[in-house]
Structure 1
Amino acid sequence: MLVNQMKKWKLLPPPPEGVLKDCHLPPLLTHLLFNRGVTTPSEVEPFLAADERLQGDPQLLPDIAKAVARILRAVLNRELIAIYGDFDADGVTATTVLTEGLSQLGGRVFAYIPHRQEGHGLSCSALEEVRLQGASLVITVDCGTGDHREVEEARAKGLDLIITDHHRPTSHLPPALAVVNPQREDSSYPTRELAGVGVAFKLLQALYEATGRRSPDELLDLVALGTVADLVPLTRENRYLVRKGLEVLNESHRPGIQELKNQAGVKRVDTQAISHTLAPRLNAAGRVDHASEAYALLVATSTSEASELAARLERTNAERRSLTEKVLEMAERKLGLPVEAPILIVGDENFPAGVNGLVASKLVEKFYRPAVVLELGEETSQGSCRSIPEFDVLAALSECRELLTRFGGHAQAAGFILPTSNVEQLHKRLTQIALRRLGGLDLQPSIPIDAEIPLSSLNGEVFRLLERLEPFGPGNPVPTFLSRGVTVMDCQRVGENGEHLKLKLREGEISWEAIGFDLGSLSEQVTSSVDIVYNLGVDDWGGERLLRLEILDFR
């Protein structure tokens, strides 16, 4: 199977005649709503408003009543509560939400965020450490659903555990006091795809309701950060949490967020600013050093402390980028070309676990194959997996569970730990599974296109129409259009290494500035007339907001 990097253009069909007719919407908006699963008039207004009507009742979460009762007892009795976090942006923001929210309720709370070398999830040594610090109750965020042995040992030593998580259970649940996870099979919660920070926030909402307080919406800045960073679908309740959270985020007086924005040069925060700029900096701490720095930034109370921490994260993020490129180059060398395997599996003792997920993502993007990147140790190794829509990598790991010490994640992003002696066998098994599931498929990336429209039909009014669909992200992508036979007036490579493509395009009397990020190497393929696939974006250069086309592909 050779790699064909030519992208398929998948033009989505128009909505059936009469769909949303009674809503009296502009035809283009009707088309875009239909493509996003909004097919009945009753769904239109809540989707566009993205308001509290999209929220689920926290009482519908499994085990929520048990969790609330135990936490309130701990607060009343002045017990010490440990919030056991995770080292990515979702885990760090979720930890902050619960430590701040429970402190406001009068709880005695402290945070424990593991080092990446400890691996994802709970560890017996860490639970013993928080017990020795005096904690009698541990609340996990963004982890714990698969940690049966660790929960059993902690209970045997007198610790009560409440698990809040959003990872799909791969077997029976651990014997914790409560497992608050909307992904449980017995869950009736309407939005199963909450991020870890979303689950933490819903627990906090339930606690505040039980004590007669209003919802702690001032913490939604953190919820928006973690939700977008974790790439969960921005549909249903996530849509509300992020839209409302972006409002709080842009008005935030939290010193850490202000200084993070200043260091990164971000003025207005939207989902793109989070995913491309803010989240990588928060994640960099856990990838290269320790995620406690990201937590310290978010809870900082003074501008001077926040400024110092944000500057440190900026340097750490630069180190993370450099390390990722170095490991990617090594991984490609070890894989060799041409790439013919149905799944890419590569490991080395010099591949640091902190960037292996990023390297796997870049391999998937380049070769359109599931990818597994491992840090090989003398006795134990750990791997990060990223995948394509055609291959559920968590299900594949589940088929190999007897080879693994622990594993977890999602369909297209997962991780595992295993004895190094099992690596070769795992390689064989995953390759067999990938051959079985992907054999015969034309593995080729595709670009879903919302509509084919003339370039001359675009204007500021259309852009304002598109803004009504925000926030954009997985499940609600930025609208993508196709325009044919566009005249190219100018073409040049830009960027430090000529990696981007800058175009001036014309159709009729209307001309447009366009940018093709990472398309610079294709400059020789630009002809005098092209068909283009693109998003309509904004260039904020020089303080003036100007519309521009963001080219995804051309022919």
Structure 2
Amino acid sequence: MNWNKTNVLKSDVDSIRQKYNIDAITASILIRRGITKGRDIFYFLEDDLRYQHNPFLFNGMEDAVDRILAAAEKDENGNREKVLIFGDRDVDGVTATTVLYECLVSLGIDVQFRVPKGDEAYGLSIEAIDEFADQYGSLIITVDCGIANVDEVAYAAQKGIDVIVTDHHNPQGVLPSPAIILDAKTEGSGYPFQEISGCALTYKLATALRFTKSKWYKTDVALLNARTEDDSIVIECIKVHNMIPMGRLTETVIPGEKSISDTKLPKYLQGQHIFCWNAKETSVLLKQAFGNGVDFNVYGMQDEISKFFPSLKDSSLEKIKNLSKIAKYGDHEPTEIGGFYNIYVTYVQQSLKKENPSFTETEEKELQLVALAAIADIMPLSDENRIFVRKGLEYMNAGRVRKGLVELLSKINLLGKRITSKDIGWSIAPKLNAAGRLGHADIATDLFTSDDPIEREQVAQKIIELNEERKTLTNDAENATFEQAKNSIENYNNKLSVVFDERIFKGVSGILASRYVEQFGIPSIVMSAVDDVVIGSMRSCRGFDVSNFLENMKDIFISHGGHDFAAGFSLERKNLEQYLSMVKENSRNIELLPVEDAGQPIDAEIYPEHMTPELINIVDRFEPYGNENENILFLARKIPIYSAQLVGKTERAHLKLVLDCENKEGKPTKFPAIFWGAGNLLHSEIEVGDKIDLLFNVERNTFNGTETLQLNIKDLRKSV
């Protein structure tokens, strides 16, 4: 393993350390990871929910909300519309279905859900539409699917059924119509972050629906501030709709030289509710600017906002602007009107929760599912995804585990233990996914939606059993197809491994494709068949976009879709040979990033005197770990080995060390360390008493209820 430590300038470290009030090690890690812009640093240092993106940034969100609210209204006979939530079979689809179902039930809506079962295909189906139409249903909401269902949405419209599409997969050129679409990856969506999960998207929709309980929903507001600057009065305004800034205006007026009609203010403020911070002070300045004959009819917010934030009672906007955390991470100087907007948004959010106390508990339950979905669907752990996962884990670890999840955690001996993103990825998500892979996604949804604790207990046990069955099916499929996968690589220009075998259970094709990606270091396609239809999964690596690869062959598919690194497809069996020929030809054009032989870059070097238990605080700050945020890799040099032993019963014994360090006060600090599969190093390359250089992660180790810190060694060398 090559050791790759990038040098960073002390001046750069000091700049970030001082600006954001962090330690030098954290600052150096951020720089080495290329996280140097304020907006990116923001999501590593802050995790308050008020910093997530506003759901109404989706251009279609207000339309979606209003259509759902219409479904909640009773007609003259006291009946409500019937609504169907159509989800997907994986963790993301099941959790997204749950979040929206619980939200719509709380609104009193006549709602049911459906997820693919058995051999049913991914995405909205004609069969589901027909069955719903027979029930006189009138609104379908897709979750974690739908963006590719162009024909199905058009068919629903013919049946008199409206469709709201909430999806996070890549669009395929033509969008479903007529439909209200919420997908951050569609052109012009308005949403600033594309990589949220399907569950996160339904959480956004649920959040927007809760916001309709506020008096501020669809209220046109203008925030206004007046201040003196030299001999002028500067008047700044921000138009706000559903807490979204819709426009800004600044007018600079020298008293006595301009009438208000000479400015853009009358037209800009027409029809707006005008709010300022301090009405008395603002009115005085406006009269100075335009004379006593002009009445702006402004309402001061200071007293009302101070009820929520007493420390602001006597504060000016000049002081408030410098208190703003958001402004601290900006690339421009904070402004008074910007500070007013930020505190207004926070006030609206807090007042909504105060008026509706149940919203806080509901949000906690939802975010635990959003955290599961982000990790299970391998969303990049950047931007607001970090907030979602951190908060979801926080609620789980505070003992407020939601129904369904508490039963599952109990079954796998994680209840009461500290849950991490690693636990979700390795222990929780695979079990939930197993239900969908084996055609029982409905029971995974039942786990979260059932109000019967006995039923949830039984479902959790069934999910454990299905996961064991899934393991067997996957291993059998690998044993049956490994040689085919290996030998296929040369046929596909050394760019792909391709497998087709009817013995593969279609629900494990994605897992098998991922295994072959890991083993061969190239993208992989794994296919099986159900009757006359071939069903395949494609997984990628090294920067290759599989969704675009499949899009180039779209004419041969019955259906296809997915993400950049994971996609699925189906085609008629009679077209399989033609498809394989097309794949072989197109594989010539596949461009893969070079295989990184340097290993994971080193994030920070820790000097022996800084080898203290406080290192875990830095590790915790960078949680959650996963896609695009690997575990922190530390380097330490000349660390003495205090003791060593071999552990494990396999052929490759593990090396367990105790390292002898001194802290900054010169007091001894003993660190346990484990190097998996490296028992052969003892007595051949190292001995007790030697000093070693090592690359390591810092992690918690829980045994018999006791938590200790442990170094997980990735590589070591005898010190020179």
Asked whether the two chains share a fold, i.e. TM above 0.5, the reply is yes
Alignment counterpart, residue 422 of structure 1, candidates 566, 571, 575: 575
The answer for the alignment partner of 1:225 in structure 2 is 372
Q: Distance in 1 between matches of 2:135 and 2:2?
A: 56
Per-residue CA distance 1:307-329 (angstroms, 9 max, x = gap): 11111111111111222122122
- CA 1:487/1:410 → structure 2, altered by over 3 Å: closer, same or farther? farther
User: Which residue identity is paired with 1:133?
Assistant: Q
How far has the Cα of 1:34 moved from its partner?
2.6
Q: Distance in 1 between matches of 2:593 and 2:437?
A: 37
User: Does the aligned pair in 2 maintain the 1:255–1:302 contact within 8 Å?
Assistant: no
Alignment counterpart, residue 63 of structure 2, candidates 62, 66, 74: 66
1:287 aligns with 2:437: yes
1:327 aligns with 2:329: no
How far has the Cα of 1:547 moved from its partner?
1.1
- CA 1:286/1:46 → structure 2, altered by over 3 Å: closer, same or farther? closer
User: Does the aligned pair in 1 maintain the 2:380–2:628 contact within 8 Å?
Assistant: yes
The answer for the alignment partner of 2:293 in structure 1 is none
User: Which residue identity is paired with 2:546?
Assistant: V
How far has the Cα of 1:176 moved from its partner?
3.6
How far has the Cα of 1:126 moved from its partner?
1.8
User: Does the aligned pair in 1 maintain the 2:60–2:182 contact within 8 Å?
Assistant: yes
Alignment counterpart, residue 513 of structure 2, candidates 345, 360, 368: 360
Q: Distance in 1 between matches of 2:131 and 2:144?
A: 19
User: Which residue identity is paired with 1:315?
Assistant: E
- CA 1:512/1:427 → structure 2, altered by over 3 Å: closer, same or farther? farther
Partner of 1:468: helix, strand, or coil? helix
- CA 1:454/1:384 → structure 2, altered by over 3 Å: closer, same or farther? farther
User: Does the aligned pair in 2 maintain the 1:63–1:179 contact within 8 Å?
Assistant: yes
Using the size of structure 2 for normalisation, the TM-score is 0.71
The answer for the alignment partner of 2:303 in structure 1 is none
Alignment counterpart, residue 654 of structure 2, candidates 501, 516, 526: 501
- CA 1:54/1:423 → structure 2, altered by over 3 Å: closer, same or farther? farther
The answer for the alignment partner of 2:705 in structure 1 is 543
Matches within 5 A, 1:79-478: 79-115=81-117, 117-212=119-214, 214=353, 216-218=362-364, 219-250=366-397, 251-252=399-400, 254-266=402-414, 267-336=417-486, 340=490, 341-438=494-591, 441-442=594-595, 446-454=599-607, 457-478=610-631
Per-residue CA distance 1:112-142 (angstroms, 9 max, x = gap): 0112522221111122222223421000100
1:51 aligns with 2:48: yes
Q: Distance in 2 between matches of 1:9 and 1:347?
A: 40
User: Which residue identity is paired with 1:168?
Assistant: N
Q: Distance in 2 between matches of 1:541 and 1:245?
A: 24
- CA 1:333/1:142 → structure 2, altered by over 3 Å: closer, same or farther? same
The answer for the alignment partner of 1:4 in structure 2 is none
User: Does the aligned pair in 2 maintain the 1:450–1:480 contact within 8 Å?
Assistant: yes
User: Which residue identity is paired with 2:120?
Assistant: E
Per-residue CA distance 1:189-226 (angstroms, 9 max, x = gap): 12211100011011111111123364541322222222
User: Which residue identity is paired with 1:107?
Assistant: I
Q: Distance in 2 between matches of 1:443 and 1:430?
A: 26
CA RMSD of aligned residues (A): 2.7
Q: Distance in 2 between matches of 1:187 and 1:224?
A: 23
Q: Distance in 2 between matches of 1:193 and 1:240?
A: 13
- Where structure 2 has 5 or more consecutive residues not aligned to the other structure, the ranges are 75-79, 215-351, 354-358, 663-668, 687-691
Partner of 1:202: helix, strand, or coil? helix
Partner of 1:449: helix, strand, or coil? coil
Q: Distance in 2 between matches of 1:119 and 1:264?
A: 30
Partner of 2:632: helix, strand, or coil? coil
User: Does the aligned pair in 2 maintain the 1:256–1:297 contact within 8 Å?
Assistant: yes
User: Does the aligned pair in 2 maintain the 1:54–1:236 contact within 8 Å?
Assistant: no
Q: Distance in 2 between matches of 1:85 and 1:499?
A: 44
The answer for the alignment partner of 1:30 in structure 2 is 27
Per-residue CA distance 1:323-356 (angstroms, 9 max, x = gap): 2122122221323469553211111001111111
Q: Distance in 2 between matches of 1:398 and 1:338?
A: 22
User: Which residue identity is paired with 1:494?
Assistant: G
Q: Distance in 2 between matches of 1:241 and 1:376?
A: 38
- CA 1:345/1:38 → structure 2, altered by over 3 Å: closer, same or farther? same
User: Does the aligned pair in 2 maintain the 1:62–1:181 contact within 8 Å?
Assistant: no
Partner of 1:118: helix, strand, or coil? coil
Per-residue CA distance 1:354-382 (angstroms, 9 max, x = gap): 11111111111111111111113452101
- CA 1:389/1:439 → structure 2, altered by over 3 Å: closer, same or farther? closer
User: Which residue identity is paired with 2:16?
Assistant: L
**Larger mean Cα displacement after TM superposition, 28-37 or 443-452:** 443-452
Q: Distance in 2 between matches of 1:285 and 1:81?
A: 25
**Larger mean Cα displacement after TM superposition, 123-132 or 285-294:** 123-132
The answer for the alignment partner of 2:16 in structure 1 is 20
User: Which residue identity is paired with 2:387?
Assistant: Y
How far has the Cα of 1:385 moved from its partner?
1.1
- CA 1:528/1:407 → structure 2, altered by over 3 Å: closer, same or farther? same
How far has the Cα of 1:270 moved from its partner?
2.1
Partner of 2:138: helix, strand, or coil? strand
**Larger mean Cα displacement after TM superposition, 119-128 or 408-417:** 119-128
Partner of 1:314: helix, strand, or coil? helix
The answer for the alignment partner of 2:673 in structure 1 is 514
User: Does the aligned pair in 2 maintain the 1:116–1:353 contact within 8 Å?
Assistant: no
Q: Distance in 2 between matches of 1:524 and 1:452?
A: 26
Partner of 2:590: helix, strand, or coil? helix
User: Which residue identity is paired with 1:514?
Assistant: A
User: Does the aligned pair in 1 maintain the 2:17–2:23 contact within 8 Å?
Assistant: no
Q: Distance in 1 between matches of 2:121 and 2:2?
A: 38
- CA 1:232/1:308 → structure 2, altered by over 3 Å: closer, same or farther? same
Per-residue CA distance 1:9-59 (angstroms, 9 max, x = gap): 554453673341423422110012234443245764553121124311111
- CA 1:537/1:98 → structure 2, altered by over 3 Å: closer, same or farther? same
How far has the Cα of 1:150 moved from its partner?
1.2
User: Which residue identity is paired with 1:547?
Assistant: L
How far has the Cα of 1:453 moved from its partner?
3.7
Q: Distance in 1 between matches of 2:84 and 2:146?
A: 14
Per-residue CA distance 1:54-76 (angstroms, 9 max, x = gap): 31111111311221111111111
User: Does the aligned pair in 1 maintain the 2:5–2:602 contact within 8 Å?
Assistant: yes
How far has the Cα of 1:535 moved from its partner?
1.5
Using the size of structure 1 for normalisation, the TM-score is 0.90
Per-residue CA distance 1:161-182 (angstroms, 9 max, x = gap): 1000001112121114201111
**Larger mean Cα displacement after TM superposition, 329-338 or 499-508:** 499-508
How far has the Cα of 1:253 moved from its partner?
5.1
User: Which residue identity is paired with 1:14?
Assistant: V
Q: Distance in 2 between matches of 1:425 and 1:148?
A: 25
User: Does the aligned pair in 1 maintain the 2:524–2:538 contact within 8 Å?
Assistant: yes
Partner of 2:119: helix, strand, or coil? helix
Q: Distance in 2 between matches of 1:440 and 1:103?
A: 48
The answer for the alignment partner of 2:685 in structure 1 is 528
